Amino acid sequence: MGSLQLEDFAAGWIGGAASVIVGHPLDTVKTRLQAGVGYGNTLSCIRMVYRRESVFGFFKGMSFPLASIAVYNSVVFGVFSNTQRFLSQHRCREPEASPPRTLSDLLLASMVAGVVSVGLGGPVDLIKIRLQMQTQPFQDGGEHRVTVFPGPHLCM
């Protein structure tokens, strides 16, 4: 049983990391367009981000979600499976028998996992969006660089 949980954790981290790496550039464009900073349309936004910040501008704010995805996925999947197991065992009351899963167990376990997901995902998303919106370059020895780390205004 312990081995299965470790495999689920690893699979959740790999799947979550892949989704962040693939989806983050489009999420950055979406976030910039939603902010209404004069990008016009999607293609205009893509061109402007690339021109001003190079390809790295599309990956702003990705480090935090990438680092937190392992914890996030393991907690959400753990809450889901443990809630579902608890409900099945509580309903069955036979410890040796493998309790059947019902649709109501699945629905309730999904709802509990969803509440936990929102509680964990909200702060992560807030930090990610603030990092994605950092567009002001600073000068360091004549070079233009763009900050990608949270500043003091992100402390909660």
What average pLDDT does range 62-73 have in this prediction?
Answer: 82
- The better pLDDT of the pair 53, 131 is held by 53
Q: Which pLDDT score is estimated for 44? A: 92
Total-model pTM = 0.58
Please state, for a pLDDT cut of 70, what percent of the chain lies above it: 74
**What is the per-residue burial (b if ≥16 Cβ within 10 Å, else e) of 56-77?**
ebbbbbbebbbebbbebbbbbb
At 14-27, the pLDDT tens digits run 888 888 899 999 98
pLDDT classification of 75: cutoffs 50, 70, 90: confident
